[in-house]
Chain A
Amino acid sequence: MDLSAINPVLLVASLMVAATPLLLAAIGELVVEKAGVLNLGVEGMMIIGAICGFAIAVETTSPALGILAAMLGGAVLSLLFAFLTQVALANQVASGLALTLFGLGLSALLGQSYVGIKPPAMAKLNIPVLSDLPIVGPILFSHDPVLYIGLAIIAATWAVLKFTRAGLILRAVGENHEAAHALGYNVVRVRILAILFGGACAGLGGAYISLIRVPQWTEGMTAGVGWIALALVVFASWKPWRVLLGAYLFGGLTVLQLNLQAAGIPIPVEYLAMSPYLITILVLVIMSADKSGAPASLGRIFHASQ
């Protein structure tokens, strides 16, 4: 084993790339859960985003259009979930699972003719002087734009939830939907908008995997990232900045694991590959004792019946 082959600067830079899909999906789900809805369909929305983004980017040769299509695809799929849970008042756990099963199938169907194709590459940000700085340059200033958009979404979500009226209404709906309804807020509309936002974020995260991180299309390529994002929201105690922290910790572990594989550590590949899932379970065990951050109406069905 040759640990000196691992370059710490590249490690940190690739950590940020590895963390971004997770971060995007988790911040979207955080907003959904803050509105009191548990959407277990993150994995399905991500994979739909991954294939929509990939297909459109290949067809139009524009990664930017691909990214937009991915957000749209994720949002459209989440609309199905919104209809089921907010209009037809279906069980949220079952509807979320349905979304994931359906999304995985549909993405495989859509993606058939895209296996083995290389998508157009997204240009990396290249800021004169800053990007050329030693160490800081490759880590902070030479990524693709979506990575920075992800960071911006985290900051914006934090600010909106904490400082704006819209954020307050969203939190009120999530904490006590009866009270919010009594105050005259449209609970269903707020929740549908939150679900759409979550869908768009998950779609974006999925496209980040298929267009930037990997970049290619394979069936089921999100490989549980959507589920890990759900766990990450618990880890973050429903706080945006802790989503960032959690995603980077997790991204770091993933990248380290891949680097250890490449460096030839004497542990079988399969056991290294299962480590992210085991670590997620471990994190859930540590973080689940304190549920004070969870929105009080999470997962409860709202119907304005008298």
Chain B
Amino acid sequence: MIRLEKRAEPSQLWSLLTPVVAVITTMIAGGLLFAALGKNPFVAIRTIFYDPLFGEFAFYYRPQLLVKGGPLILIAIGLSLGFRAGIWNIGAEGQYIIGALCGAGAGLALYPMESVLIFPLMILCGLLGGMLWAMIPAILKLKFGTNEILVSLMLVYVAEQLLASMSLGLLKNPEGFGFPGSRNLQDYPSAHNAELIAGTGMHWGVLTAFIAVIFAYVLLKKHMLGFNIRLTGEAPRAARFGGVNPNRLILFCMGASGALAGLAGLFEVAGPAGQVSIDFNVGYGFTAIIVAFLGRLHPVGILLAGLLMALTYIGGDIAQSSLSLPSAAIQVFQGMLLFFLLAFDVLTNFRIRLAVKGAA
């Protein structure tokens, strides 16, 4: 009979080991899935995890790692702050869309003016857009006690409809021959989020993501606010006795995660995506939730997890074209990763003991 015994202290070792074990288990389970789909599992796993980094065309794929990892890391860093304090913003996808709409809207409104101030203005608008969108669930929670999970998620669907409306209406390219979608910001130098160093995939969004990692690390390790966030998550009652204001914490965590998601949306729409179109969002806001957990809600962990998840996106694309592996298989793969992670996490807080039935 297997029995769980609570550890006096969470195990440091298992806390670090869990993500690794989860990734390996997911590879095995994923291999079985690919085999069930009639693909050679070893080739599939190699195509996803090895080829983008060291394969024949790695020079093309490596920059993609930063392009795809940047937004994931940026969003996940914001989410992790709230998740640590038990504040669940799961509507990052919506905040990402609104950030992109506000930022791109500001840029498109000034077209065809050229000025160095346009891009900073767009960044500001993207940040504010995402933040305000996230403030809706935060303020409703404070004022009326609504559940932020449900409200933030409902707002994703609202944001998607707004995106459709904007790309078919207000922001539609007047010279686009009636096709949906805005002007391409890549053709508008003042608004283009271009690569900082050609050929590396490094753009302003990736740089911002790295800065966010450092800021989050310092905040959680050295700053009172970071301490309060951790305290609220681990011992809510103690936090209240300690004078932590839960309302301010909710506003901060929701606002910060919304702002970062909005930034991610703006950098994407002004850079790699280029234009506001009905389906420019590809679910980074949801995948970032997996990234945040896989990174153990720790800034450095999130950095690594974001890059790994970016790798599965790129590898998934390659496997889709070379092995005709369905794109949904990668989505399943990412979902499995979160499952295994949560399952193995039990080892951090509990010890598994084999006990004779009835003896205990």
A285 CA to B330 CA, complexed, in Å: 37
The residues of B that contact A303 with a CB separation of less than 8 Å are 4, 6, 350
Q: Are the CB atoms of B154 and A109 closer together than 8 Å?
A: no
The residues of B that contact A262 with a CB separation of less than 8 Å are none
Q: Which of B263-300 contact A (CB under 8 A)?
A: 286, 289-290, 293
Q: Are the CB atoms of B343 and A84 closer together than 8 Å?
A: yes
Closest Cβ–Cβ distance, residue B155 to chain A (whole Å): 7
Task: Assess whether B11 is interfacial by the CB under 8 Å rule.
Answer: no
Q: Which of A87-112 contact B (CB under 8 A)?
A: 88-91, 93-95, 97-98, 101-106, 108-109, 112
Given A102-B332, A108-B328, A224-B154, A270 and B164 touching (CB < 8 A)? yes
Interface 9-residue window, one of A7-15, A19-27, A145-153, A276-284: A276-284
Closest Cβ–Cβ distance, residue B166 to chain A (whole Å): 9
Q: Are the CB atoms of B146 and A271 closer together than 8 Å?
A: no
Q: Are the CB atoms of B293 and A285 closer together than 8 Å?
A: no
The residues of B that contact A231 with a CB separation of less than 8 Å are 147, 150, 154
Q: By the criterion of a CB under 8 Å from any partner CB, how many residues of chain A are at the interface?
A: 46
B interface majority secondary structure: helix
Chain B, interface residues (CB within 8 Å), range: 35 or more
Task: Assess whether A129 is interfacial by the CB under 8 Å rule.
Answer: no
Q: Are the CB atoms of A305 and B157 closer together than 8 Å?
A: no
The residues of B that contact A271 with a CB separation of less than 8 Å are 161, 165
Closest Cβ–Cβ distance, residue A31 to chain B (whole Å): 19
Task: Assess whether A182 is interfacial by the CB under 8 Å rule.
Answer: no
Q: Are the CB atoms of A105 and B335 closer together than 8 Å?
A: yes
The residues of A that contact B168 with a CB separation of less than 8 Å are 270
Contact with A along B161-186 (1 / 0, CB 8 A): 11011001100000000000000000
Closest Cβ–Cβ distance, residue A283 to chain B (whole Å): 10
Closest Cβ–Cβ distance, residue B135 to chain A (whole Å): 13
Task: Assess whether B326 is interfacial by the CB under 8 Å rule.
Answer: yes
The residues of A that contact B150 with a CB separation of less than 8 Å are 227, 230-231, 234, 280, 284
A175 CA to B327 CA, complexed, in Å: 43
A278 CA to B157 CA, complexed, in Å: 9
A-B pairs with beta carbons under 8 A, tally:
135
Given A101-B334, A102-B332, A106-B335, A281 and B151 touching (CB < 8 A)? yes
Closest Cβ–Cβ distance, residue A147 to chain B (whole Å): 25
Given A231-B150, A270-B162, A94 and B293 touching (CB < 8 A)? yes
Task: Assess whether A288 is interfacial by the CB under 8 Å rule.
Answer: yes
The residues of A that contact B154 with a CB separation of less than 8 Å are 224, 227-228, 231, 277-278, 280-281
Q: Are the CB atoms of A83 and B147 closer together than 8 Å?
A: no
Closest Cβ–Cβ distance, residue B84 to chain A (whole Å): 12
Q: Are the CB atoms of A284 and B164 closer together than 8 Å?
A: no
The residues of B that contact A219 with a CB separation of less than 8 Å are 328
Q: Are the CB atoms of B161 and A108 closer together than 8 Å?
A: no
Task: Assess whether B195 is interfacial by the CB under 8 Å rule.
Answer: no
B6 touches which one: A88, A227, A228, A305 (CB < 8 A)? A305
If A101-B286, A270-B165, A281-B151 are given as contacts, then 20 extra A-B residue pairs at C-beta distance below 8 Å, sorted by A number, are: A88-B342, A88-B345, A94-B338, A97-B289, A98-B290, A98-B335, A98-B338, A98-B339, A101-B338, A104-B335, A105-B335, A109-B328, A112-B326, A231-B154, A277-B158, A280-B154, A281-B155, A288-B145, A288-B146, A305-B5
Q: Which positions in B face A, CB cutoff 8 Å?
A: 4-6, 88, 90, 140, 144-147, 149-151, 153-155, 157-158, 161-162, 164-165, 168-169, 286, 289-290, 293, 326-336, 338-339, 342-346, 349-350
The 5 A-B pairs at the shortest CB distance, nearest first, are namely: A102-B335, A105-B331, A108-B328, A270-B165, A274-B161
Q: Which positions in A face B, CB cutoff 8 Å?
A: 40, 80, 83-84, 88-91, 93-95, 97-98, 101-106, 108-109, 112, 219, 223-224, 227-228, 230-231, 234, 268, 270-271, 273-274, 277-278, 280-281, 284-285, 288-289, 291, 303, 305
What are 30 inter-chain pairs, A to B, with CB distance below 8 A? Answer: A84-B339, A88-B343, A88-B344, A90-B342, A90-B343, A91-B342, A93-B149, A98-B342, A101-B334, A102-B335, A105-B329, A105-B334, A105-B335, A109-B328, A112-B328, A219-B328, A223-B157, A227-B150, A227-B153, A230-B150, A231-B150, A234-B147, A268-B169, A271-B165, A273-B161, A274-B161, A277-B158, A281-B155, A288-B147, A305-B6
